[in-house]
Amino acid sequence: MSAIDTLVIIPTYNEKENINKMTAAVLDASPHVDILFVDDNSPDGTGQMADALAEKTDRVHVLHRTTKDGLGRAYIAGFKWALARDYQFVMEMDCDFSHDPKEIPNFRTKILEGYDLVLGSRYVDGIRVLNWPMHRLLLSRGAGVYVQLITGMPFSDPTGGFKCFRRELLEAYHYEDVRANGYGFQIEMTHRAWIRGFKVGEVPITFEDRQEGTSKMSGNIITEALWVVWTLAVRNGFRRKPRPKA
């Protein structure tokens, strides 16, 4: 296995306040990772800043997309980019420092134990959320319980977006069938892995609300997450446990 075996995919849209600091923090966190910024034609020049960073080090890469069509589509583009190369593990991560780059080695340690997917959880061993108003915390926790009740998935934080995939799992997805795009995308990708018998684990993370830039949260994202859970349940005949892995 090569020294660099992990790709950290970071979607960006108007993240000029964070991209330089995030690059330094991720590369400092582990010698085993590269970064792929997937920029959705940010009008604030984030994509050009990413290009400048890529010119300085071969550990930074940039994938430019012409339109902003959702987080899920950005990640899928990143997954396909990674699979065309030799990365063994692929991580999802936000650019706003709500996900702490110092946690990256913990994900690698966990997935090297034999997991196919590792979820970063804000709710393992207590509540690990900073600077959130109470209504956001209640919404997040309520969403997790809602997903558990309908799908049977036993994970404490199914809407979280800090996670690590093993290459073999990414190769097994049928991306043309993935419908969700926001928080629903995170739920759908985890459910598709879990229901097919892939090994899914959790690691505790501390989540801190963004300090710079503007939140991408919207009512449409929440609505999507509500309906995608029922879509997954119906599609799988309301099965509440994983199938034996083929």
CA distances from 98 to 35, 79, 130, 137, 205 (A): 17, 22, 9, 14, 10
Q: How far apart are CA 168 and CA 57, in angstroms?
A: 28
Q: State residue 54's pLDDT score.
A: 98
pLDDT in tens, 193-205: 999 999 999 999 9
Q: How far apart are CA 48 and CA 228, in angstroms?
A: 35
- Residues in the chain where the model's pLDDT stays below 70: 1-2, 210-219, 221, 246
Q: How far apart are CA 1 and CA 182, in angstroms?
A: 33
Q: How far apart are CA 13 and CA 71, in angstroms?
A: 10
* 3-state helix, strand and coil shares in percent for the chain, rounded to the nearest 5: 40, 15, 40
Q: State residue 125's pLDDT score.
A: 83
| pTM of the entire predicted model | 0.93
- Could you give the 3-state DSSP secondary structure of residue 232? helix
* Torsion 193-71-184-211 (CA) sign: positive
- Domains, the chain, in order of start with CATH, read 6-235 (3.90.550.10)
Nearest alpha carbon to residue 181 among 67, 76, 43, 90: 76
For helices 219-235 and 134-151, what crossing angle results, to 10°? Answer: 10
Q: State residue 1's pLDDT score.
A: 46
Q: How far apart are CA 193 and CA 204, in angstroms?
A: 20
